[in-house]
Amino acid sequence: MRFAGVTEFLTQSPESLAKGPVALVFVEDDVEIDTTVRHNLHLGFKSNILFMPSEFDLAQDIADKVIRVDAEIVRKGNREEIINAVIARAPEIWMYVCYNAEYLFFPFCETRTVGEMLAFHTEERRDAMLCYAIDLYAGDLDAHPNAVDIDNAYIDRSGYYALGRNAPGSDYPKERQLDFYGGLRWRYEEHVPQERRKIDRIALFRTKPGLELRPDHTFNDEEYNTYACPWHHNLTAAVATFRTAKALKRNPGSAYEIETFRWHNSVPFEWHSRQLLDLGLMESGQWF
C-alpha cells in the first residue's frame, strides 16, 4: 500500500494504526532499507510504515508487506511533527521509531516476538522503554567507504557511560533519568554536535492523548523518559545502527580523518541479543 503524502496516509489508512506494535521507519538514504524492513517483519510488528522519498526502491518481496508514505522527511526536518501527528491518530498502541540501517534487539528476540516482549512490559505498568543506539561500523572502510557492511560489522565492547540528567535551571538530577554516551559519538565527539552525542532513545513507547516526542528522542511526559520504575529494574533494548558511521564518513569534516573505525575495543557484531546482554548494552529486567 502506498500513499502520496503524510496527510493522505493519516486520513485514508486508519486500519494500519488500529493495532500495535507499529514500526515507523524514517528513510534518510537508500542504504539497507530492505534489511531494515525484513528485520522488523521478523520481530513481529503488526504494521511497518515507511516514510521515504518517492525515488527510492523497495525489494519486491517486501513491497506488499509494508505501508509506504512518499515524503521528504529528513531533508525537511519534520520527523517529530510526523510522529506526533501519528500519535494523535492512534492512541493506546505501542510504536517503535527508527531509521533505515537500524536494527532493534531486545532480550531473547531470537525466540520471542516484539509483541510478547511489550505485553510483559505493559504488565509491569511501563509505557515506554529505554533503548541504546549502539553504533555499527564496517571493518574495512576501503571496501565499504560508506561504513556499512552487514556481513562484517563491528561494535565497541566498552567505552559506555552515563551522567545524571539535570532539570533545566537545576543542579539536581531528574529521578530515574540518565544521559548515556559511548560508541562512535564518544570516540569522535569533536565531529558530533554536543546535543547529538547521547545514545539513549525512547524508541519504544505506548501512545496516549497529548503525548509528544521532542527532538532529543524524549517525550513531554517525564515518566516516559525514565530507565526503570521505582521498585525494580525493567527491560531495556538496543538499536544497532550504522547511522553515526554513515554520517561521519559522509561529512567532509570527518571523512578524510578516519581511515578505520576499528580500535582495540572493537569486536565483530554477532547479530544476536546474547552478545548485547553479555556486554551490558541492554537488560532483561524481570523477564526470563
Share of residues in the chain with pLDDT > 90 (%): 78
Q: 182 or 15: whose pLDDT is higher?
A: 182
Q: What is the pTM of this model?
A: 0.94
Q: Cα–Cα–Cα angle for 54, 41, 94, nearest 5°? A: 90
Q: Cα–Cα–Cα angle for 203, 25, 226, nearest 5°? A: 5
Give the residue extent of every domain in the chain.
1-100, 102-202+210-288
Say which range, 45-49, 53-57, 59-63, 77-81, has the weakest mean pLDDT. 77-81
pLDDT tens, 217-235? Answer: 899 999 999 999 998 899 9
Q: Is the pLDDT of residue 192 over 60?
A: yes
In contact, 4 and 12? CB cutoff 8 Å: no
Q: Residue 12: its pLDDT value, please?
A: 86
Give the mean model confidence (pLDDT) for residues 28-43.
96
Q: Residue 33: its pLDDT value, please?
A: 96
Which strand (E) or helix (H) includes residue 134?
Answer: strand 128-135
Which of 35, 76, 37 is closest to 53 using CA atoms? 76
Share of residues in the chain with pLDDT > 70 (%): 98
pLDDT tens, 83-137? Answer: 999 999 998 999 999 999 999 999 999 999 999 999 999 999 999 999 999 999 9
Which strand (E) or helix (H) includes residue 94?
Answer: strand 94-99
Is residue 185 exposed (0-12), middle (13-18) or buried (19+ Cβ within 10 Å)?
buried
Give the mean model confidence (pLDDT) for residues 238-263.
95
Determine the 3-state secondary structure of 268 from DSSP. Answer: strand
